[in-house]
Chain A
Amino acid sequence: MDNSNIIQIENMWKQFPMGGGKFTALENINLTFGKGEFAGLVGPSGSGKTTLLNIIGSLDVPTKGSTIILDKSISDLTHKEAAQLRNHHLGFIFQTYNLLPVYTVFENVEYPLLLLDYTSDERHKAVLDALEWVGLSDKEKSRPAQLSGGESQRVAIARAMVKRPEIVLADEPTANLDAENSHHILQMMEKLNKELETTFIFATHDEKVIKYIRRKISLLDGKIEKDEHLEMGDRRPETGDGRPETGGRA
């Protein structure tokens, strides 16, 4: 096994029971991701993007084949171990921010840390750092209802990033945002990806997202159709940094 790959998926199938038979949502997936990737699962509705993200996120298990996340086989984890894996190493960003409305911005970002062994000082510092990354230091006392959509998603990014996870999974993170806010949060994630070497995997069919990703994995009917490392030219010129890409299968 290649140790530089933090995600290693081999001959993986996902089938759902359907009527009397089975529906194959993912078919023989082979994929690896290295540290620091900024990749997108792209494809039409129903192509299996969310299903794949679910399995990488240890929220679901494959029917066949192996999926190793950070040296742990998803199929073999108990519920509790899967929860622990998510808790320690994975961050999630959703289309609909999912902030806890009764808590302040600060407390929302703090929440994942309460599940980990952070002291209150460590939590405080980590939350302030995370809010600074997303440019919301001045909103720490606000409630989610007082925030714009873009700000809410930035809080969600801070919440996903605050424990500095190895992998962040984002399902349609820009679907509810206008163009300007979409660019804003994508730039933000790109910056975090570079500074913290966090691996980002998006599921999306948003062209704006596709402009930012450095690897585009195209799904169609549950199969990987294409896995491309995008050239600088495909993307907005100002964000290119020319760093070598890793782990792709063309």
Chain B
Amino acid sequence: MFKFLLKGILRDHHRSLFPIVIVVLGVSLTVLAHCWINGILGDMIDFNAKYSTGHVKIVTNGYEDNMDQMPVELALGNVDELLAKVRKDYPKMEWVERIRFGGLIDAPDNKGETRAQGPALGLAVDLLSPDTKEVERLNINKSIVRGKSPEKNGEILISDELADKLKVIPGQIVTLMTSTMYGSMAMQNYIVSGTIKFGVTAMDKGAMILDITDAKYVMDMQDEVSEILGYFSNGIYNNVSATTVQNRFNAAYKDSTGEFAPVMLKLRDQNELASMLDYISRMISIFISVFVLAMSIVLWNAGLLGGLRRYGEMGLRLAIGEFKGRVYRSLIYESVIVGFIGSAIGTIIGLGAAFYLQEVGLDFSDLMQNATVLWPGVFRAKITLPAYYIGFIPGLISTVIGTMLSGIGIYKRQTAQLFKELET
């Protein structure tokens, strides 16, 4: 019987072509949207984790409340002890020190007078320890546009855009003006060893990357640092594990209060990421539901038209003794076959388009100038395992629902009318 249905579908283009085209359209768009949103989301999480939030992050209570302003005066104290403790308690995670700070970079002329000046977003990481993973984590070597990565203290990287603005080239000296953690003014000269472009709009505007020891020095920090970031060793954010770690850490410190008490945040809690992620996953579900609905309605109508065309066939089948449930079911089987074929084709097309967007991407950096979340400048799709089957959900559901609705007419057929209907 399956063979029989399949033959019917393949030979009757009216029966198969339109529904398949609809399913192909809907499925390919679903697959593409899925891959694209996934890619953007994945990149966003990845960038934020690497450059800003960590998978978890330890800061002080006071720092947490004003994180946007990166207040170095609210840095964590006793960092060596704290680091030793988390490294012992969570040995599978990697823990690193970070300082983020704001400042001004001043490019002097050859007399030492200010030639150009611009605001900079300082990010101090461990660049120089022999076994540091931060250079790799921040993808520094691949992001260098001109010059090279710092090799010793006193060397920094600045964003290529900022370098252009200040007309600074690698090898030249710039002056950083910022404040110490005690609030006094601090100035320090550095050699720009290279310029950098991460592909993250917020950072490419004015980032300055320097070694953590240089930053501690200029900010008068001893055993202090503003953030300790923790990473899962596989590099992938897992909200469940992060929550476990977070709860355990915060429970241990629940008795310490005051603005210098340490507190752990997870990635989702930072930079509006939680609401952003929720928003995006809601959008995905709405998107897919709307597609299923729209496709079901279209296919329902297509089924009704098909039903008119196949009125005689259905009547004949009822007359020769196929009972209604069986005729109905065979229509559903047909719709599953059609849905499957359409979904398979749609998935292939959707994956093809997604592959293109994965390799090439679309450049939205102009739109991202003022984003607080670290959005990737180029939106790329990402093909993940679910992309291979996710399209079958709307594809099959909509064809089956469409057919179930349009096929109800079979139950309304009066067998008593069949002879008359079949005569005309």
Contact yes or no, B320 A82, CB < 8 A: no
Interface stretch of the complex, out of A36-44, A91-99, A236-244: A91-99
Contact yes or no, B422 A83, CB < 8 A: no
Q: A-B pairs with CB below 8 Å: how many?
A: 84
Contact mask for chain B residues 303-344; partner A; CB cutoff 8 A; 1 contact, 0 none:
000000000110111111111111000000000000000000
Using known A-B contacts A59-B418, A83-B323, A84-B321, determine if residue A102 contacts B8 with beta carbons closer than 8 Å.
yes
- A40→B382 CA distance, assembly (Å): 73
- A59→B321 CA distance, assembly (Å): 9
Interface status of A79 (Cβ within 8 A of chain B) = yes
Using known A-B contacts A79-B324, A83-B322, determine if residue A100 contacts B423 with beta carbons closer than 8 Å.
no
Using known A-B contacts A88-B321, A114-B4, A115-B321, determine if residue A100 contacts B313 with beta carbons closer than 8 Å.
yes
| Residues of A63-118 whose CB lies within 8 A of B | 79-80, 82-88, 90-92, 94-96, 98, 100-103, 107, 111-112, 114-115
Using known A-B contacts A85-B321, A112-B320, determine if residue A53 contacts B422 with beta carbons closer than 8 Å.
no
Contact yes or no, B319 A86, CB < 8 A: yes
Interface status of A50 (Cβ within 8 A of chain B) = yes
Q: Which residues of B contact A114 (CB under 8 A)?
A: 1, 4
Interface status of A54 (Cβ within 8 A of chain B) = yes
Chain B: interface size category:
20 to 34
Contact yes or no, B8 A103, CB < 8 A: yes
Interface status of A197 (Cβ within 8 A of chain B) = no
Q: Which residues of A contact B319 (CB under 8 A)?
A: 57, 59, 86, 92
Cβ of A180 to closest chain B Cβ, rounded Å? 22
Interface status of B111 (Cβ within 8 A of chain A) = no
Interface status of B420 (Cβ within 8 A of chain A) = yes
Contact yes or no, A103 B7, CB < 8 A: yes
Q: Which residue of B lies closest to A86 (CB)?
A: B321
Cβ of B306 to closest chain A Cβ, rounded Å? 12
- A172→B415 CA distance, assembly (Å): 18
Contact yes or no, B415 A107, CB < 8 A: no
Interface status of A27 (Cβ within 8 A of chain B) = no
Interface status of B424 (Cβ within 8 A of chain A) = yes
Cβ of B253 to closest chain A Cβ, rounded Å? 71
Interface status of B416 (Cβ within 8 A of chain A) = yes
Using known A-B contacts A100-B313, A102-B11, determine if residue A54 contacts B323 with beta carbons closer than 8 Å.
no
Interface status of B90 (Cβ within 8 A of chain A) = no
The 4 A-B pairs of least Cβ separation, nearest first, read A87-B321, A86-B321, A60-B416, A83-B323
**Could you list some 19 contacts between A and B, CB below 8 A?**
A50-B420, A57-B319, A59-B416, A61-B416, A79-B323, A79-B415, A80-B323, A84-B321, A92-B319, A94-B419, A96-B424, A98-B312, A98-B422, A102-B7, A103-B8, A111-B320, A112-B320, A115-B322, A171-B419
